Amino acid sequence: MAQRILALEFADDRVEVLIPSQPLKVAEENEISLKIHFPGLSTMESKQSAEGYPLGVDGGDQQLPILRHGDGSAYFKFVPLALGKLELFVIGSFPDAGIFRTRVTFDVGPPDRPPAIFHIGGLTPADNRASMDESRCMGRLGYRQDLGCIQLFIEPRVDASIDAGTPPQTRHINPQALYDGTPQVIAIPSQLVHFKVRSDGHVIDLDENTGMITPVNPGSALIEATYFGVTDHACVMVTRGMSDSVSSRCEGLHPLEPDSFYAFRVIVKDTGGNPLSNVKVSVADEPNPAQIAHTDETGLVSFQLSTVTRFILLKVTADGYREEKMHMTMLPVALIKHPFAITLWRPSEQRPY
């Protein structure tokens, strides 16, 4: 028996998507009513689009099963992933090869719950939880969840002859949130955020409507942003040009990270790579008194250092070896993967440097 080939046919008038009178809730499942005028539609596919998402909203491609209430009326559920005006493109097929397509625009507002995470200061809107940390200041224990870092230049051109009229560099504050139950990061319009700026002098201008930051004078400014009861901070560090050093990181405007402790380990070996035991090691977090301990049989020794420690003086002394002494700038704890290695040299051994 010959198979009957069905020709695809657009049948956009077979389904109506009914737009609710109230705004939808972002990052939550919303129910949308349908009027279906032809039998056989069981599922649809959708794509979300919004301003600022040229390739579509991340995570917005969703399968939408057709659901029914007890009275037989049809509906579907979907999770909006952008605030403001959201366009939903929906397509579905019928058993007779009829294709239904439509585009509908919804107003989407915040849910009635605070976000799990709220950050400001990202270079661009983050696309996942890990990339949200790219806006954070680096502290002793890794990325600081309580403070973002932004650096701006008043004269971004290195060579002024290229364009003597270059305006100051600007930057969007990029508020963004992550809600429990939704892996996608939600960009938050600046109009929904309450801002406060603190600085010593006139360092920046912040347009609270657009979220644009403009540097004015060298220095640092602290931006405080609150969204649905969750507050975040960002330190804006402004220098005259790209080669100028940062004089302040908002130390006087925002508390330093909590003073907790971690293990700082040192391993001591001779020039042959053999561990040295019973070596005296001194670690001084000046002006505090030095901690003194001796290496064990594996050449290891451990000290408790504060997370706010930035510099130490390290001294290593052993009979028959030259003393080693060095001032160290401490790396963030997250970057310290191995014990700090020290090699001791005998007076008769020639050092290569």
CATH number for 71: 2.60.40.10
Whether 236 and 274 map to the same domain: the answer is no
Residue with the bigger pLDDT between 5 and 331: it is 331
Residue 246 lies in a domain: no
Burial of 329 (0-12, 13-18, 19+ CB in 10 A): exposed
Is it the case that residue 335 has pLDDT exceeding 60? no
Residue 353 lies in a domain: no
> Mean pLDDT, to the nearest integer, of 332-346?
76
> Mean pLDDT, to the nearest integer, of 71-100?
94
pLDDT at 1: 47
Q: Which domain holds residue 321?
A: 261-344
Q: Does the bond joining 215 to the residue before it have cis omega, within 30 degrees of 0?
A: no
Whether 132 and 211 map to the same domain: the answer is yes
Residue 168 lies in a domain: yes
Whether 134 and 232 map to the same domain: the answer is yes
Residue 307 lies in a domain: yes
pLDDT in tens, 194-248: 999 999 889 999 999 999 999 999 999 999 999 999 999 999 999 888 777 776 7
Whether 175 and 192 map to the same domain: the answer is yes
Q: Answer yes or no: are the C-beta atoms of 178 and 128 closer than 8 Å.
A: no
Whether 211 and 124 map to the same domain: the answer is yes
CATH code of 193's domain = 2.60.40.3440
Whether 102 and 125 map to the same domain: the answer is no
Residue with the bigger pLDDT between 130 and 90: it is 90
Split at pLDDT 50, 70, 90, the class of 6 is low
Residue 254 lies in a domain: no
> Mean pLDDT, to the nearest integer, of 304-319?
82
Element of type H or E holding 130: helix 129-132
The closest of 153, 249, 171 to 213, measured between CA atoms, is 171
CATH code of 293's domain = 2.60.40.1120
pLDDT at 132: 84
For residue 254, give Cα distances in angstroms to 98, 226, 305. Answer: 62, 16, 22
Is it the case that residue 111 has pLDDT exceeding 80? yes
Residue with the bigger pLDDT between 277 and 253: it is 277
- 109, 140, 160 — which closes off a domain? 109
Split at pLDDT 50, 70, 90, the class of 7 is low
- 43, 74, 109 — which closes off a domain? 109
Q: How many domains does the chain have?
A: 3
Rounded CA-CA distance 89/186 in Å is: 19
Whether 235 and 126 map to the same domain: the answer is yes
Whether 125 and 104 map to the same domain: the answer is no
**Mean pLDDT, the chain, whole residue set:** 86
What 3-state DSSP class applies to 12?
helix
Rounded CA-CA distance 111/227 in Å is: 12
pTM strictly above 0.85: no
Whether 203 and 309 map to the same domain: the answer is no
- 109, 131, 147 — which closes off a domain? 109
Residue 352 lies in a domain: no
The closest of 23, 87, 91, 79 to 56, measured between CA atoms, is 87
pLDDT in tens, 148-191: 888 898 886 555 444 445 566 888 999 999 999 888 999 999 99
Whether 223 and 131 map to the same domain: the answer is yes
Query: What's the start-to-end Cα distance of the chain, in Å?
Result: 90
Residue 183 lies in a domain: yes
The closest of 332, 329, 321 to 342, measured between CA atoms, is 321
Whether 124 and 49 map to the same domain: the answer is no
Residue 350 lies in a domain: no
Whether 222 and 173 map to the same domain: the answer is yes
- Number of helices (H), then strands (E), belonging to the chain: the values are 1, 28
pLDDT at 160: 47
